[in-house]
Amino acid sequence: MIPGSFEYHRPGSVGETVELLARLGEESRVIAGGHSLIPMMKLRLAVPEHLIDLQSVEGLKDIAIDGGDITIGAMVTQHELIESEALAAACPILRETSKQIADPQIRYCGTLGGNVANGDPGNDMPALMQALDADYLLAGPEGTRSIKARDFYEAAYFTALNEGEILTAVRFAAPSAGHGWAYEKQKRKIGDYATAAAAVLLTLSGGACSAASVALTNVADTPLFAEEASTILSGSSLDADTVERAAKAAAAITDPAEDGRGPVEFRRHLTAVMVRRAVATAQTRAA
């Protein structure tokens, strides 16, 4: 399929982008890597009259690790997330998750901002951002604001992004030194979206788990922060019974679609399996 016709714009700054979005109105759309938007345009599920390309917008490709804070610009590609040794040292789950997105060709173009702003429940980065308790930094006609990744997703393709706003960066506290991490993703084949996936971060202290964070991909209309599962793990010794309770609590909040990836019960069951595996791997990696 060939997309509908559109006018192409290439602003150089966030201010110029916001001004263009305000002037061109609801028929305009920003484009980042294009690997979600262009397929939708080809299917005519999106028919923007104006495409505003973020490639030349200054400041959106920065990666900053400043004290305990990590800030990643919206236009940093999934490939760049994998390549950054500094990010891999400060927050290794970013590399692990990025490597499980699609294939290298898509990761060369696909951006962190596009992945989290799109609102596709199949995207892997939103759940990771919820596990990391990230803030999304937004810019729009009213100025700048931030919103928690845990509050951003409303339904499939519906987010808290207001008309005329763009996401400029994500920011989160670097996980503590010696933390354990894992992103476990079950998919039908290489390059596929998750049938179910779980991001787990945990901190061990004296053999017990002092903090834990669990989030899930593609098992509901939105990514899911598994609050009860996180609470069950925190303060426990991560014994088999506790991990089982956490896995079941995570599965209980899912509401997966029945599609080519399997029936509801299977995907729910798989969620528990992903959580168990991710906890086990994170535990072995924690210092």
The residues that touch ligand FAD, with contacts defined as CB under 6 A, are 29-37, 39, 54, 74, 101-102, 106, 109-111, 113-115, 117-118, 123-125, 166-167, 191, 193
**Quick check: 156 and 120 in contact, CB under 8 A?**
yes
Select the residue whose beta carbon is closest to ligand FAD and give its number: 114
**CB of residue 12 vs ligand FAD: minimum separation in angstroms?**
15
**CB of residue 133 vs ligand FAD: minimum separation in angstroms?**
19
Residue with tokens 């938007």: 37
Kindly report each contact of residues 24-29 with a partner whose C-beta sits within 8 Å and lies 24 or more positions away, as own/partner.
Answer: 24/49, 24/50, 24/52, 26/163, 28/52
Beta carbon nearer to ligand FAD, 72 or 249: 72
**CB of residue 104 vs ligand FAD: minimum separation in angstroms?**
12
Beta carbon nearer to ligand FAD, 58 or 252: 58
Beta carbon nearer to ligand FAD, 177 or 190: 190
Beta carbon nearer to ligand FAD, 108 or 178: 108
**CB of residue 207 vs ligand FAD: minimum separation in angstroms?**
35
Burial level of 253, CB count in 10 A (0-12/13-18/19+)? Answer: middle
Sign of the CA dihedral with 118 first, then 224, 252, and 181 last: positive
**CB of residue 217 vs ligand FAD: minimum separation in angstroms?**
8
Residue with tokens 């945990």: 202
Closest by alpha carbon to 236, among 283, 272, 197, 271?
283
Beta carbon nearer to ligand FAD, 31 or 249: 31
Query: Who contacts 55 (Cβ-Cβ below 8 Å, separation ≥6)?
Result: 10, 75
**How does strand 50-53 pair with strand 28-31?**
parallel
DSSP 3-state of 42:
helix
Beta carbon nearer to ligand FAD, 183 or 193: 193
**CB of residue 241 vs ligand FAD: minimum separation in angstroms?**
33
